[in-house]
Amino acid sequence: MTLAEMQFVPPDLRLASAEIFILAMACLIMIVDLFVKEKKRTVTFVLTQLALVGAAVVTFMLMLSSGQVLYTFSNMYVGDLLGDLLKLLVYLTVIVVLFYSRGYVLDRPQMARGEFYSLTLFATLGMMVMISANHFLTVYIGIELLSLSLYAMVALNRDSIPATEAAMKYFVLGALASGLLLYGMSMIYGATGTLEISAVAERLFAGQANKTILVFGVVFLVSGIAFKLGVVPFHMWIPDVYHGAPTAVTLFIASAPKLAGFAIVIRMLVSGLIVVSQDWQAMLMILSVLSMAVGNFAAIAQTNLKRMLAYSAISHMGFMLLGMVTGVVGGDAHYALNAYSSSLFYVVTYVLTSAGTFGMILLLSRSGFESDEISDFAGLNKRSPWFAALMMMMMFSMAGIPFFVGFFAKFSVLQAVVTAGYLWLAIAAVFFSLVGAYYYLRVVKVMYFDPPASMAPIEAPVGVKILISANGLAVALLGIFPQTVMMLCAVSLSRSL
The per-residue pLDDT for 73 is: 86
H or E element at residue 77: strand 77-79
C-alpha Rg value of the chain to the nearest Å? 22
The per-residue pLDDT for 90 is: 95
Calculate the alpha carbon distances from 442 to 166, 204, 224, 300, 301 in Å.
27, 50, 34, 9, 11
Nearest CA to 79 out of 129, 127, 35, 125 is that of 129
Beta-carbon contacts of 161 under 8 Å, excluding residues fewer than 6 positions away, are none
Calculate the alpha carbon distances from 183 to 81, 134, 491 in Å.
30, 18, 34
The per-residue pLDDT for 72 is: 86
3-state secondary structure of 373: strand
Total residues belonging to the chain: 497
**What are the CB-based long-range contacts (under 8 Å, 24+) for 9-13?**
9/74, 11/72, 11/73, 11/74, 11/77, 12/70, 12/72, 13/72
The series of mean pLDDT values per 10 residues for the chain, 497 residues long, is 59 87 93 82 90 94 82 88 93 94 84 86 95 92 94 87 90 91 92 90 86 90 91 89 91 92 92 87 92 93 91 93 82 79 94 92 77 84 88 92 90 90 91 92 91 77 88 91 90 85
Q: At what angle do helices 81-106 and 114-131 cross, to 10 degrees?
A: 160
State how far the Cα of 328 lies from the Cα of 419, in Å rounded to an integer.
11
3-state secondary structure of 72: strand
CB atoms under 10 Å from CB of 1, counted, come to 5
The per-residue pLDDT for 368 is: 61
The per-residue pLDDT for 367 is: 61
H or E element at residue 222: helix 211-229
Identify residue 425 by its one-letter amino acid code.
L
H or E element at residue 78: strand 77-79
Using an 8 Å Cβ cutoff, are 397 and 303 in contact?
no
Nearest CA to 253 out of 365, 154, 156 is that of 154
Exposure class string for 371-403: b at 16+ Cβ within 10 A, else e: bbbbebbbbbbebbeebbbbbbbbbbbbbbbee
- For residues 172, 178, 179 and 180, what is the CA-based torsion angle, rounded to 10 degrees? 110
Output DSSP code: residue 183. Answer: H
Exposure class string for 341-351: b at 16+ Cβ within 10 A, else e: bbbbbbbbbbb
Exposed/middle/buried for residue 142 (C-beta within 10 Å: 0-12, 13-18, 19+): buried
Nearest CA to 49 out of 13, 99, 123, 105 is that of 99
State how far the Cα of 285 lies from the Cα of 44, in Å rounded to an integer.
44
Using an 8 Å Cβ cutoff, are 273 and 280 in contact?
yes
Nearest CA to 281 out of 250, 242, 326 is that of 326
Q: What are phi and psi of 78, to 5 degrees?
A: -120, 135
The three state secondary structure string of 21-52 is: HHHHHHHHHHHHHHCCCCCCCHHHHHHHHHHH
Output DSSP code: residue 451. Answer: P
3-state secondary structure of 372: coil
Q: What are phi and psi of 77, to 5 degrees?
A: -130, 135
The per-residue pLDDT for 87 is: 94
Where are the domains positioned within the chain? 16-494
The per-residue pLDDT for 120 is: 94
Identify residue 167 by its one-letter amino acid code.
A
Per the DSSP assignment, residues forming a β-bridge with 133 are 77
The three state secondary structure string of 248-311 is: HHHHHHCCHHHHHHHHHHHHHHHHHCHHHHHHHHHHHHHHHHHHHHHHHHHHHCCCEHHHHHHH
HSE-up of 267 (CA within 13 Å, CB side)?
A: 31
Q: What are phi and psi of 79, to 5 degrees?
A: -115, 115
